[in-house]
Structure 1
Amino acid sequence: MEPPSADGRFRLSPAYPDPVTSPAARTALDITADLPVPDLEDFYRDLHRHPELSLREHRTAAAFAERLRKAGYATADGVGGTGVVGVLRNGDGPTVLLRADMDALPVTEETGLSYASQTPGVMHACGHDLHVTWMTGAADALAAGRDTWSGTLVLVGQPAEETGEGAARMLADGLYERFPRPDVLLAQHAAPGPAGLYAHSPGLIMSASTDIDIVVHGRGGHGSRPEATVDPVVTAAYLVTRLQTVVSREVAARESAVLTVGRIEAGTRHNIIPSEAHLALNLRTQSVEVRERMIAAIRRIAAGECLAAGCPREPDITVGSSFPMTVNDPDTDRRVAAVHGEVFGAGTILDPGPAMGSEDFPRLAEGGLPYSYWFVTSTPADVWNAAPGGGDIMERLAAVPSNHSPHFAPDLSTVAPGVRTLVSGALASLSPA
């Protein structure tokens, strides 16, 4: 998951009142008044020290499951591989699903934190350790305060968000056959920005992502006799350059899209012209139509460049893994944002516009289930204040460590607020007792 980006500016949303008038906001503040913050911070540090890659989240899942059981949830693990599900039935009312992702990234940490990763080459560089911590605190608070609400809670610790596999694997393992099917789903994500803001968009909030692999076939030979070969490296270089015109010349200015060539591989020795070159592409799109147009352009350009180069065969083009668009149900998101505005103050709620980052959370909403997904800004105050840009929030956002950075280190001051966002969001959908 990448951080939220705006179309040039953040838009504060003053429509959400400061006075705490709704039962959900009052109850959330009451049952989170005495959160065990030091314990939660220690839990977070432990998770951060021991990051685990996608579908290997065994230690993380066990720690989360143990916490759910102690809080009184009927808990199952191993769902979809390493997923965890906790269920708390508390009388009649809606079923609300809260989701936290658990996996880390193949990134070498460079934060210098005293609790930095102890696993070489692996880091919680996206904040999923913080997500699990928030969920743990919310699970405890909602269980302890069960006399204030009625309904059913389904808490999901999801594996493999980074690879886009986790949600689908849990569904395939019978998530909604083995556990209650939710009426509404809620999730949140740590993001860069001055700690203390809560970003909601009542509609499209994150983009679709599509991976594409291209193999250019040439005719290999000796580097001293290029005339006897068809060099796939040169063709791949032309292809990389020409692909940059897909967004700039084939996507309308009113549309948002990104095309990245993330990897190019070819050859084994300095003096050998290889027979193949491999390119790995990633697309970010905000409509099905733009996605299909870009894929068609990629196919056409790749075929054309290979034809122009005299390649012995057409390129192999494979459309690989993908993430769906994340589109909040407007009514659900406005309801949750309104409660957040009461709990934290109207000036803390903002609309960042749709991000180019992607999520697999929407797959859990199969069949059109309504959901709300929001961001919790988490950059430490000293880091934010030292960033260049003055009052230009976008320039500062570009300067502070973002998700997937080896320097990404959320502020621990967000532990308690992140618990309250989940608790108040859940209470906005559960029935008051």
Structure 2
Amino acid sequence: MTANQKGGNDTLLAGLAGLLPDLEQVYADIHAHPELSMQEKRTADLVAKRLRQTGFEVTAGVGKTGVVGLLKNGDGPVVMLRADMDALPVQEATGVPYASKVTATDAEGHTVPVMHACGHDMHVTWLLGAAAVLAQTRAAWKGTVMAVFQPAEETAAGAQAMIDDGLFKRFPKPEVVLGQHVMVGPAGALGGRVGTITSAADSFQVRLFGRGAHGSMPQASIDPVVMAASVVLRLQTIVARELAPAESAVVTVGALQAGTKENVIPDEAIIKLNVRTFDEGVRARVLAAITRIVNAEAAASGAPKPPEITPLDRYPMASNDQEATERLAAVFREHFSQERVHEVGPASASEDFGSFGTQWGVPSVFWFVGGTDPEVYAKAKAANRLNEIPSNHNPHFLPVLHPTLETGVEAMVVAARAWLVAG
């Protein structure tokens, strides 16, 4: 970063402190009104209204509930900034005054609690803050800022829905795609890396078929509960016994559903599982092993028909472009200091952010922003108890408001400024 660039960032961010009280209210409002994937209408309306107020040209309803805002400011590169908007079917347990009390109907018709348990409310607030900063400081830069508020990241459907709805045809092609995510880590710190940043993810439903009977006459049954239990245990051996120690994968069974009464052996069982991998060859071997194990256990049990294995969702592996990531790391270290910017390993979490850059054929960079009280994090680390800090998707997950809020806004503005032409 040159001295002029650093001075330019200082100019851009001079008014951020004055925006923080309003952004705090926006964050609390979004947090208290979470919406499930592809149901983000209220959030999208709030986003569209605020973007228009700051001078953006707004297109709503992209990929059903997605919002795209363009701020054209003379000749220069197009920089795309992305935030995701959806929440999770989780019952909030944070106890804060703005905690969610919302329930909604999910895609399967069930009434579920809803919570921003992954920090997407913070992501939306960050991008709204960055948009406001850039709109207020147009004299300091040239180019086009494209703010993309994406639905349905949690179901891996939102990025593709926006792409399928003509994102690449209806809007200018960016020179770079930038995004960030709040995670467990000291608030105010940033982490990233060249190459793989988040894992690929595959989710499946396995339906196992048996033969029902009275609990007192197990000999008349083909018990799908025992079958399912055997499958769950055997699946654990894929990582433990079929992959080399240097290879990485996660196989998680998140749901096992069977039966309704203790003295009735049901006639089927449902397993839902999730797989995370960092290598396409490892992914292929793990998925093949799952199919082999499921079918073999069913056959060993004498199942009346083969299991049904149904894909639920698929996240591609996200990879950061080397040149763009190195440029971003340099400007982050100059702006935030060396101590606050860290190189991290690939995260086993997954994201559909990478679809934008990969399918558009442009470099993309994704990084993490810490959201944990630094003192709490330091004490947990010293006691070797980091795994006890509530992480994303936990009912107690709640980023500390400051300095998480201002760090994310600053990071997005500084990142955009690394490509935008000086005014």
Residue of structure 1 in register with 2:84 after alignment? 101
Find the aligned partners of 2:97 and 2:231 in 1 and give their Cα distance.
45
Find the aligned partners of 2:4 and 2:398 in 1 and give their Cα distance.
34
Residue of structure 2 in register with 1:9 after alignment? none
User: Are positions 1:427 and 2:417 aligned together?
Assistant: yes
Q: How does 1:186-265 map to 2 (within 5 A)?
A: 186-265=178-257
Residue of structure 1 in register with 2:64 after alignment? 81
Q: Please provide the CA RMSD for this pair.
A: 1.5
- Give the deviation of 1:51 after TM superposition: 1.1
- Give the deviation of 1:212 after TM superposition: 1.6
User: Are positions 1:62 and 2:45 aligned together?
Assistant: yes
Which of 404, 417, 427 in structure 1 is aligned with 2:407?
Answer: 417
- Give the deviation of 1:25 after TM superposition: 3.3
User: Are positions 1:388 and 2:380 aligned together?
Assistant: yes
Find the aligned partners of 1:411 and 1:344 in 2 and give their Cα distance.
19
User: Are positions 1:151 and 2:114 aligned together?
Assistant: no
Residue of structure 2 in register with 1:11 after alignment? none
- Give the deviation of 1:39 after TM superposition: 1.1
Residue of structure 2 in register with 1:45 after alignment? 28
Q: Which has the higher contact order (CA 8 A, sep 6+)?
A: 1
Q: What amino acid maps onto 1:60 in structure 2?
A: T
User: Are positions 1:276 and 2:260 aligned together?
Assistant: no
Find the aligned partners of 1:396 and 1:236 in 2 and give their Cα distance.
33
Q: What amino acid maps onto 1:360 in structure 2?
A: D
Gaps of 5+ in 1: 1-19
Report runs of 4+ in structure 1 exceeding 4 Å deviation. Answer: none
Taking structure 1 as the reference length, the TM-score comes to 0.92
Q: Greater CA deviation, 358-367 or 118-127?
A: 118-127
Residue of structure 1 in register with 2:291 after alignment? 299
User: Are positions 1:164 and 2:164 aligned together?
Assistant: no
Find the aligned partners of 2:338 and 2:273 in 1 and give their Cα distance.
41
User: Are positions 1:21 and 2:2 aligned together?
Assistant: yes
- Give the deviation of 1:22 after TM superposition: 4.7
Which of 372, 375, 400 in structure 1 is aligned with 2:389?
Answer: 400
Find the aligned partners of 1:254 and 1:290 in 2 and give their Cα distance.
11
Find the aligned partners of 1:376 and 1:298 in 2 and give their Cα distance.
34
Gaps of 5+ in 2: 104-112
User: Are positions 1:368 and 2:372 aligned together?
Assistant: no
**Contact 2:11 2:140 (C-alpha < 8 Å) held by counterparts:** no
Find the aligned partners of 2:147 and 2:381 in 1 and give their Cα distance.
40
Residue of structure 2 in register with 1:118 after alignment? 101
**Contact 2:380 2:386 (C-alpha < 8 Å) held by counterparts:** no
- Give the deviation of 1:219 after TM superposition: 1.6
Which of 131, 135, 139 in structure 2 is aligned with 1:139?
Answer: 131
Taking structure 2 as the reference length, the TM-score comes to 0.94
Find the aligned partners of 2:280 and 2:399 in 1 and give their Cα distance.
34
Residues 298-342 of structure 1: CA distance to partner in whole angstroms, max 9, x if unpaired? 111111111111112221222331101010001111111111111
Residues 166-195 of structure 1: CA distance to partner in whole angstroms, max 9, x if unpaired? 111111111121111212100001111111
- Give the deviation of 1:77 after TM superposition: 0.9
The number of residue pairs the alignment matches comes to 410
**Contact 1:384 1:396 (C-alpha < 8 Å) held by counterparts:** no
Q: Greater CA deviation, 147-156 or 24-33?
A: 24-33
User: Are positions 1:334 and 2:326 aligned together?
Assistant: yes
Residue of structure 2 in register with 1:3 after alignment? none
SS at match of 2:35: coil
